[in-house]
Amino acid sequence: MKLLLVLALALNLIPAPVRYSPEKDKTCFRKEIASLEPWQQKEAYRITVKGKKVKVEAVTKEGKFRAKATLEQLKAMGELPQGTIFDYPRFRHRGIMIDESRSFKGKEFLKKQMDAMALLKLNVLHIHLDDSAGWRIESSAYPDLTAKTAWRVGRTYHEWEAGKYKFTSADDPEGYGGCYSPADLRELVAYAAEHYINIIPEIEMPGHSMEVGYAYPDVLCVLENGKRCTGAWDLCPGSEATFKLLEAVLKEVMDIFPSPYIHIGGDEATMKTWPLCVNCRRRMEEEGFTDVKQLQGYLVRRIEAFVRSRGRQIIGWDEILETGVPEEAVVQSWRGVSGGEKANAMGHEVVMSPNSHLYLNYYQDLIRKEPRAVGELTSLRHVYSYEPVAEGMDESLVLGMQGNLWCELVPTVEHAEYMLYPRAFAIAERAWSPASVRDPLEFRDRARKLVGVLRTKGYNTFDMDNESELAQSGYRTFDAFEKAKLQGSK
Ligand code: ACM
Ligand code: ZN
């Protein structure tokens, strides 16, 4: 077993396969996968190379597709080793989130990233389709969402912020932005299906929603003097207009996206206007609530029931745990890992995307050599060190893990690719390969080769040849690195 593992690591392949043996495997493939979970069987494959003959075994087209990715990578890296590769995934959710609200990059960009994702056996593309900086999906029920907020004044998010959040129209030659028509999105869904990727659409609520109130003010809170809270960050959970809009939009979203999961955001609601609002106060009285926070739970539960009545399951950021959440909800841990651990202990399925490890908008190397970013140093090695199943967690409820690329500071396609690669390689390997595969130095060698492959395919990756010693070490500060060197521990 140990020998086989070492050999598996010797292949120039990301994610590393479960097993590589230079010999022909004599066991029956179907027997070999019989003990795996059904979702693992679907993606399992075996490749046997003998001389120039290549044999692929899989029980589904998806399994064959994963095998094709393996062959494509090995060929691109210049080798097709003799013997047998046997492989299947550790997790069923292996994802990347892209924020299309703060900086709209469009259809061709997403298709290109799906090509890379398929090569890495990543299978979930979560698209953050709306936020205060702009609504990106045309709605026939609420056309002003895009007509009034999909274009803004200011090329970058911060220029827009500095200019006091001004939106403009599609025909303004100075306007920046864009949006997807239902036809564009159907094209993306079809492209994703061809690549065995599920697109999870996110419609953010009730926070991060300034643009919704700008387009349709009746979703905003109302003060006792009758004034609307113009410019508010949160939707009003007391107003029926809010639910009417959200349900209409979600219905359109579910018509376009076949995803079993629909992301409803749920993070960072400020709840500032709620205690002052006549509609929120009335809702609290009717429901017997004593704390405005309960209004967030009310909204999440009502939307969850709506989504579930249409045969889908919601995912929400980990804040949804704090205000009473239906047990069918999937919780996505982002404020570190504690939300995921807590949700897991409560019996929820979880997706782990902690900002402690998997935020791809965070610096990947020293501040002085990188484009402006945020957060603590989140180097390739640091991402690779992440283990999504902490001690005590029930692995069967961990759907998987995901890297999140927020785009406030990522205005271009080239910049987005720079932030994504090679860190997406580490996410792919941790999410697909057995937990025991985790030698960071050996992984770095493979990552450098694969960066070369992506560059020849026209991706603008981070330059691994100029990665600082600190980033390569996996430590996050010079202090910690120096201390470790003194102690001779790394
Ligand atoms: C988040 O990063 N606010 C989910
Ligand atoms: Zn209100």
Distance (Å) from CA 200 to ligand 2 centroid: 29
DSSP 165-224: S-EE-TT-TT-EE--B-HHHHHHHHHHHHHTT-EEEEEEEESSS-HHHHHH-GGGS-B-T
Q: Is residue 406 part of a domain?
A: yes
Distance (Å) from CA 346 to ligand 1 centroid: 22
Give 415-448 pLDDT, tens digit per residue.
999 999 999 999 999 999 999 999 999 999 999 9
Distance (Å) from CA 246 to ligand 2 centroid: 15
Q: Is residue 488 part of a domain?
A: no
- Boundary (domain end) residue, out of 58, 87, 116: 87
Give the number of the atom of ligand 1 that is nearest the alpha carbon of residue 268. 3
Distance (Å) from CA 100 to ligand 2 centroid: 27
191 contact partners, CB below 8 Å, separation of at least 6: 111, 114
In this structure, are 71 and 104 located in the same domain? Answer: no
Predicted confidence (pLDDT) at residue 66 exceeds the cutoff of 60: yes
In this structure, are 40 and 110 located in the same domain? Answer: no
Average of per-residue pLDDT values in the chain: 96
Q: Is residue 304 part of a domain?
A: yes
Q: The domain containing residue 14 runs over which residues? A: 2-87
In this structure, are 304 and 360 located in the same domain? Answer: yes
In this structure, are 337 and 417 located in the same domain? Answer: yes
**Which residue's CA lies nearest to atom 2 of ligand 1?**
334
Q: Which two tokens stand for residue 374?
A: 């945020």
Ligand nearest to C-alpha 263: 1
Q: Is residue 489 part of a domain?
A: no
Reported confidence tier of residue 172, pLDDT bands at 50, 70, 90: very high
Predicted confidence (pLDDT) at residue 153 exceeds the cutoff of 80: yes
Give 329-347 pLDDT, tens digit per residue.
999 999 999 999 999 999 9
Give 277-300 pLDDT, tens digit per residue.
999 999 999 999 999 999 999 999
Closest CA to 181 of 112, 115, 129, 234: 129
Domain count, the chain: 2
Q: Is residue 327 part of a domain?
A: yes
Q: Which two tokens stand for residue 396?
A: 């069967």
In this structure, are 454 and 478 located in the same domain? Answer: yes
Q: Which two tokens stand for residue 259?
A: 């995803």
As a whole number of angstroms, the distance between CA 432 and CA 91 comes to 6
In this structure, are 193 and 334 located in the same domain? Answer: yes
In this structure, are 30 and 148 located in the same domain? Answer: no
Q: Which of 10-24, 192-206, 208-222 has the lowest mean pLDDT?
A: 10-24
Ligand nearest to C-alpha 273: 2
In this structure, are 290 and 326 located in the same domain? Answer: yes
- Residue among 102, 263, 268, 352 whose CB has most ligand 1 atoms within 8 A, to mutate: 268
Work out the average pLDDT over 466-479: 96
pLDDT at 8: 54
H runs (alpha helix) in 38-149: 38-43, 61-76, 107-119, 144-149
Distance (Å) from CA 164 to ligand 2 centroid: 23
As a whole number of angstroms, the distance between CA 179 and CA 186 comes to 13
As a whole number of angstroms, the distance between CA 350 and CA 340 comes to 6
Q: Which residue has the tokens 């690779």?
A: 384
Give 88-147 pLDDT, tens digit per residue.
999 999 999 999 999 999 999 999 999 999 999 999 999 999 999 999 999 999 999 999
Give the number of the atom of ligand 1 that is nearest the alpha carbon of residue 406. 2
Q: Residue 142: what residue type?
A: Y
In this structure, are 276 and 311 located in the same domain? Answer: yes
Q: What percent of the chain has pLDDT over 70?
A: 98
Distance (Å) from CA 467 to ligand 2 centroid: 49
Q: Judging by DSSP bridges, how do beta strands 151-152 and 134-135 pair with one another?
A: unpaired
Kindly report the CATH number assigned to the domain that includes residue 467.
Answer: 3.20.20.80
Q: Is residue 149 part of a domain?
A: yes
In this structure, are 462 and 327 located in the same domain? Answer: yes
In this structure, are 100 and 49 located in the same domain? Answer: no
Task: Measure Cα distances from 47 to 19, 61, 81, 454 in Å.
Answer: 11, 14, 10, 23
- Residue among 203, 317, 320, 337 whose CB has most ligand 1 atoms within 8 A, to mutate: 317
Give the number of the atom of ligand 1 that is nearest the alpha carbon of residue 265. 4
Task: Measure Cα distances from 33 to 27, 59, 249, 297, 398 in Å.
Answer: 10, 10, 41, 42, 21
pLDDT at 269: 98
Q: Which two tokens stand for residue 109?
A: 């960009």
pLDDT at 195: 98
Say yes or no: CB of residue 334 within 6 Å of ligand 1.
Answer: yes
pLDDT at 489: 58
Say yes or no: CB of residue 268 within 6 Å of ligand 1.
Answer: yes
Work out the average pLDDT over 161-183: 96
In this structure, are 9 and 149 located in the same domain? Answer: no
Task: Measure Cα distances from 248 to 142, 244, 253, 254 in Å.
Answer: 8, 6, 9, 10
**Which of the two residues, 155 and 194, has the higher pLDDT score?**
194
